[in-house]
């Protein structure tokens, strides 16, 4: 009897000890992250206790395995284990092959489409390193979104800079929370931003960091030497704009054309911001040559200045007004602006300002810009003043008022985007080539007239011939034509051509010396080749982008989007704004609110009353 009692206590002791020992072993191994002898020993001891309990069960009672309770317990145990295994597999596959569906209207919990394109098209494996001790939940969530769509090309690492100082020193970490993107070997790296509990990681910063690491860097050269805005942090400088360019994968550098003689080959854009003195003729000629090679130019010219670019701007049909733009709408008073600081809400229809809506941007002391139609050049204004506004011809007058005799009424253009070398120009150039360069279309009279013209042009005249002389020569030649010549269809075709086309015909018959002395602005009319596409943005103000004003309203977006459009990046990441939640709240009048409150009381009472009456009838 005593032996049976001891065996009974031993049996229950083994049954209690088995799970306890296994739980101790599993817990210690999970917490310590070390599956050494101690955790494994506890697990093995628990398994041995369970096996001994099974042996005692078989010997202590007759027919234990044949009892109905044993079968029911075994079925319950096996079912429980099976459910746990199924749940574990579901959890495993859910974590490894996760899939999410964002059902919100504005894709509140999804990455921007451009971000998805950048991440999915990574050329090689990239690492994102966050040097922090305790990363915030929003940063973890955002990096998880990136990782899920990267096809294992984007690895995320959270590094404690105090535990791994060597790696932190390699990346030149300055603050706890710095985030870097790097190549798989760590040789190429780019700083993204610094995060903390209050400032989580921003999608725009991380995506641009990936572009800086994997993409081709654009480079903007800022012309210096004529009183332009300084690039260094100081009063009146544009250092904030420079920092914004660096954040968008755009390198920058100053340039002095007097010293360098030419625009570098790696220049994606040449920017001339607020020059106070005129450029030298040689500099202007180099800028023309740069545009003829397919370059891009950003001009921001303040009032009462002459940058000496009139010959260049005339080729593009741009005229810098000498007046001052005045905004008499009074809209700028809410921002502390006066008449001479136009507040712009009209942005036309252009990629630079397409997403601006009715946002605000302002331009203290701006000069209006005019333009005329030039063949092969497409001009689009994108900064347009509101009404009433005018171009003040006497900006020094303290009493600014509109004078219909002197001032030009608005709306005025403060910003114009221009493109040269599009398909229309190429088509027109091809037509001119066919009309002027085909020998078979020339009449005999024209053939005999051309040598005469060539003989009268002496070498001395050829060397000193200017564009103005070439233009005045054409009417004279037209007057000397005979009636027979003007009656032919071929001559009628020549008469219908523009002066530029007539000059082209003369250029073909002139001597090589004459051809070599042609100025740069005659190249667009060349019949044997067409110029590559060139872009230009002309702004009548540079003060809107200085430190302190750059980050106000849409001022900075005007500058950055202009740079992106000029460099051919208007379709790429002009900005990635945070998703906004649409306000779906119902706004009710007081009487409507009282009606709803009354309905919430009466409808339940009516329902319960109907149910109670039905119950009484059935009873």
- Does 577 map to a domain? no
Contact 279, 248 (CB under 8 A): no
**Percent of the chain beyond pLDDT 90?**
31
Pair 387, 415 in one domain: yes
Between helices 499-509 and 423-437, what is the axis angle to 10°?
50
The answer for 63, left when phi > 0, alpha when psi is -120 to 50, beta otherwise, is: left
Distance CA 126, CA 123 (A): 9
Q: How far is CA 12 from CA 24, 57, 60, 62, in A?
A: 19, 10, 12, 17
Distance CA 273, CA 231 (A): 10
Q: How far is CA 422 from CA 268, 289, 398, 418, 531, in A?
A: 19, 18, 45, 11, 9
Pair 209, 222 in one domain: no
Contact 523, 292 (CB under 8 A): yes
- Does 178 map to a domain? yes
- Does 486 map to a domain? yes
- Does 581 map to a domain? no
Tokens of 99: 């899939």
Q: Is the pLDDT of residue 496 over 50?
A: no
Ranges 154-158, 566-570, 609-613: which has the least confidence? 566-570
Q: Is the pLDDT of residue 457 over 60?
A: no
Pair 408, 468 in one domain: no
Q: Is the pLDDT of residue 427 over 50?
A: no
pLDDT at 507: 33
Tokens 């800022």, residue located: 222
- Choosing from 184, 214, 244, the residue where a domain stops is 214
Per-residue model confidence as pLDDT tens digits over 1-20: 565 666 667 777 877 788 88
- Does 372 map to a domain? yes
Pair 281, 399 in one domain: yes
Number of domains into which the chain is organized:
6
Pair 78, 18 in one domain: no
Contact 374, 314 (CB under 8 A): no
Pair 396, 474 in one domain: no
Give the pLDDT band (50/70/90) at residue 159.
very high
Neighbours of 120 (CB within 10 A): 12
Domain interval for residue 150: 113-214
Pair 239, 201 in one domain: no
- Does 104 map to a domain? no
Ranges 132-136, 409-413, 433-437, 543-547: which has the least confidence? 433-437
- Does 483 map to a domain? yes
- Does 571 map to a domain? no
Pair 458, 603 in one domain: no
Pair 476, 445 in one domain: yes
- Return the higher-pLDDT residue of 30 and 163: 163
CATH of the domain at 188: 3.40.30.10
Pair 370, 297 in one domain: yes
- Choosing from 171, 194, 214, the residue where a domain stops is 214
Give the pLDDT band (50/70/90) at residue 581.
low
Pair 444, 413 in one domain: no
Pair 247, 381 in one domain: yes
**What value, to the nearest 5°, has the Cα angle with vertex 161 and ends 156 and 167?**
75
């Amino acid at each position: 009897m005593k032996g049976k009692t001891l065996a009974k206590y031993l049996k229950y002791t083994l049954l209690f000890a088995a799970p306890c020992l296994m739980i101790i072993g599993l817990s210690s191994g999970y917490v310590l992250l070390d599956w050494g002898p101690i955790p494994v020993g506890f697990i093995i001891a628990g398994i041995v206790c369970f096996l001994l309990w099974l042996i005692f069960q078989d010997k202590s009672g007759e027919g234990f395995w044949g009892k109905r309770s044993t079968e029911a317990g075994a079925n319950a145990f096996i079912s429980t284990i099976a459910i746990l295994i199924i749940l574990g597999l579901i959890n495993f596959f859910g974590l490894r092959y996760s899939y999410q569906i964002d059902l919100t209207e504005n894709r509140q919990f999804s990455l921007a489409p451009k971000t998805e394109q950048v991440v999915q098209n990574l050329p090689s494996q990239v690492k994102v390193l966050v040097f922090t001790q305790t990363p915030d939940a929003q940063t973890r969530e955002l990096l998880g979104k990136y990782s899920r769509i990267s096809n294992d090309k984007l690895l995320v690492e959270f590094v404690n800079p105090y535990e791994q100082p060597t790696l932190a020193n390699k990346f030149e970490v300055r603050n706890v929370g710095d985030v870097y993107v790097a190549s798989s070997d760590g040789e190429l790296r780019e700083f993204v931003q610094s995060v903390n509990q209050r400032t989580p990681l921003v999608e725009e910063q991380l995506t641009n960091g990936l572009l800086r690491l994997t993409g081709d860097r654009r480079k903007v050269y800022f012309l210096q030497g004529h009183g332009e805005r300084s690039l260094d942090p100081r009063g009146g400088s544009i250092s904030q704009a420079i920092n914004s360019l660096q954040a968008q994968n755009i390198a920058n550098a100053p340039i002095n054309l007097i010293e360098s003689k030419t625009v570098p080959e790696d220049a994606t854009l040449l920017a001339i911001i607020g020059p106070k003195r005129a450029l030298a003729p040689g500099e202007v000629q180099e800028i023309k040559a740069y545009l003829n090679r397919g370059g891009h130019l950003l001009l921001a010219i303040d009032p009462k200045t002459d940058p000496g670019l009139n010959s260049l701007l005339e080729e593009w049909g741009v005229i810098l007004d000498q007046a001052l733009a005045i905004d008499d709408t009074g809209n700028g008073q809410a921002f502390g602006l006066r008449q001479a600081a136009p507040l712009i809400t009209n942005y036309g229809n252009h990629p630079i300002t397409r997403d601006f809506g009715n946002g605000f941007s302002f331009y203290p002391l701006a000069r209006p810009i005019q333009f005329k139609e030039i063949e092969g050049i497409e001009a689009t204004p994108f900064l347009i003043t509101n009404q009433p506004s005018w171009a003040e011809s006497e900006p020094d007058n303290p009493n600014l008022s509109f004078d219909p005799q002197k001032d030009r009424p608005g709306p005025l253009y403060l910003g114009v985007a221009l493109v040269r070398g599009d398909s229309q120009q190429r088509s027109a150039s091809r037509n001119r080539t066919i009309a002027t360069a085909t020998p078979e279309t020339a009449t005999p009279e024209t053939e005999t007239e051309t040598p005469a013209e060539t003989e009268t042009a002496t070498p001395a005249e050829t060397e000193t011939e200017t564009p103005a002389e070439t233009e005045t020569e054409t009417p004279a030649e037209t007057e000397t034509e005979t009636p027979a010549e003007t009656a032919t269809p071929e001559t009628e075709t020549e008469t219908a051509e523009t002066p530029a086309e007539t000059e082209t015909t003369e250029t073909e018959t002139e001597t090589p010396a004459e051809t070599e002395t042609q100025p740069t602005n005659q190249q667009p009319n060349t019949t044997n080749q067409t110029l590559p596409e060139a872009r230009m943005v002309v702004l009548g103000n540079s003060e809107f982008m200085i430190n302190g004003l750059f980050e106000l309203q849409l001022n900075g977006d005007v500058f950055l989007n202009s740079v992106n459009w000029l460099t051919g990046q208007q379709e790429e990441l002009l900005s990635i704004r945070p998703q906004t939640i649409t306000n779906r709240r119902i706004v009710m009048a007081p009487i409507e609110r009282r009606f709803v409150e009354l309905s919430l009381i009466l409808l339940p009472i009516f329902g319960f009353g109907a149910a109670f009456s039905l119950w009484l009838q059935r009873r």
